[in-house]
Amino acid sequence: EAQVTQNPRYLITVTGKKLTVTCSQNMNHEYMSWYRQDPGLGLRQIYYSMNVEVTDKGDVPEGYKVSRKEKRNFPLILESPSPNQTSLYFCASSLLGGGAAEQFFGPGTRLTVL
Amino acid sequence: TQLLEQSPQFLSIQEGENLTVYCNSSSVFSSLQWYRQEPGEGPVLLVTVVTGGEVKKLKRLTFQFGDARKDSSLHITAAQPGDTGLYLCAGARGRNAGGTSYGKLTFGQGTILTVHP
pLDDT tens for each residue of B44-92: 999 999 899 999 999 999 999 999 999 999 999 999 999 999 999 999 8
pLDDT at B85: 96
Give the separation between CA B65 and CA B80, rounded to whole angstroms.
Answer: 24
* Torsion over CA: B35, A85, A60, A39 (sign): positive
Burial degree of A71 (CB within 10 A; 0-12, 13-18, 19+): middle
Question: Which amino acid belongs to residue B64?
Answer: Q
Quick one: closest CA in A to B7, which residue?
A40
Return the SS3 of A108.
coil
The answer to whether the Cβ–Cβ distance between A108 and B33 falls below 8 Å is no
Cα nearest neighbour of B100 on chain A: A58
Cβ A97–B92 below 8 Å, yes or no? yes
Average pLDDT over residues A54-62: 93
Question: Taking a C-beta distance cutoff of 8 angstroms, is the pair A43, B45 a contact?
Answer: no
Question: Chain B closest CA to A98's CA: distance in Å?
Answer: 5
Could you say which of B2, B45, B88 has the minimum Cβ distance to residue A102? Answer: B45
Residues of B in contact with A59 (CB under 8 A): 104, 106
Q: Which residues in chain B touch residue A90, judged by CB atoms under 8 angstroms apart?
A: 42-43
- The pLDDT of residue A98 is above 80: no
Interface residues on A facing B, Cβ-Cβ cutoff 8 A: 4, 31, 33, 35, 40-45, 48-50, 56, 58-59, 90, 92, 97-103, 105-108
- The whole-angstrom separation of Cα B17 and Cα B13 is 7
pLDDT above 90 as % of chain B: 75
pLDDT in tens, B9-52: 999 999 999 999 999 999 888 889 999 999 889 999 999 998 99
- pLDDT at position B95 is 56
Distance CA A65, CA A78 (A): 6
Nearest Cα residue in chain B from A41: B109
- At B100, is the pLDDT very low, low, confident or very high (cuts 50, 70, 90)? very low
